[in-house]
Amino acid sequence: MTFQNEERTVLFSNEVAEQTPWEDTETIEAASAQETKESEEVVEYVKLPLTDAEKDKHAREDESLVFYVVKMFENSGVDYDELVSIAMVGFAKALHAFDKNRLVKFSTYSINCIKNEILFFLRKERNHVKNSISMNCVLSVDKNGNSLSLEDTVSTFDKDERSVEDDIVLSDEIKLLRSALSDLSDKEQYIITYRYGLDRGITKTQREIADAIGMSQANVSKIEKNILDKVKKILKDRYHMTEELFAS
């Protein structure tokens, strides 16, 4: 009796299997693959600018930031009223470019925009300041193919020849650069730190870094290039920097 029941179970299973079309299985797999693909799609980032009312509100309440930043440059040798005019341009850019979706306060963002506008002016006015910290020199190599560190670029012009505003330029650019680097992953920070001597001037070759983190030199080289592009984008998007600002 038991044998007959088992036989019926086997026959029933075979009938069900024969009744299940192969096409249905393919349809299910295709639908599953589509769902997986859709779930992996990256949602496009949408910028959320200030409304006109919010711009007016910040213009009234945060205009004092202009004079706060100008005071930092009072020993630059530039006329005070001219500095205020330049700072106002930076403040206007902050109102226009601020993105509410980013995790940064408007006051912080506008201060950086105002500083950058003044620094851009100082750069144009003082062409004798060469090889200062910039995207083009910090994030590059010298003519012999060696990585240039922060210490290398700072020391390329004699300290006695640096004016107060030159030191301000260097100090602020280093701060902005380090802020941008903080957005990188631990592995990316390790690579860029030791490729460009950001840890007490200590530098390592791509081969040394590859051995330390367990990957090929080719991968380190590729990641390094991607890091430089990423940092440039961060500095442009977050601090409203332009290529002209970073021209050496």
SS3 for 128-193, per residue?
Answer: CCCCCCCHHHHCCECCCCCECCHHHHHCCCCHHHCCHHHHHHHHHHHHHHHHHHCCCCHHHHHHHH
Return the pLDDT at 115: 92
| Out of 91-100, 149-158, 196-205, least confident range | 149-158
Return the pLDDT at 165: 47
pTM: 0.42
Helix (H, G, I), strand (E, B) or coil at 90: helix
86 CB-near residues (< 8 Å, 6+ apart) = 117, 118, 121
Summarised one tens digit per residue, pLDDT across range 50-109 is 999 999 999 999 999 999 999 998 888 888 889 999 999 999 999 999 998 887 889 999
The CATH architecture assigned to 129-248 reads Orthogonal Bundle (1.10)
Terminal alpha carbon distance of the chain: 94
Domain-wise residue ranges, the chain: 43-125, 129-248
Say whether pLDDT at 125 is over 70: yes
Return the pLDDT at 228: 84
Give CA–CA dist 101/231, Å, rounded.
19
Q: pLDDT > 90: what percent of the chain? A: 21
Return the pLDDT at 4: 52
Summarised one tens digit per residue, pLDDT across range 14-62 is 554 444 444 455 555 555 556 555 544 555 667 888 999 999 999 999 9
pLDDT tier at 248 (50, 70, 90 boundaries)?
A: very low
* Matching CATH number, 43-125, of 2.60.40, 1.10.3470, 1.20.1440, 1.10.1740: 1.10.1740
| Out of 60-64, 196-200, 228-232, least confident range | 196-200
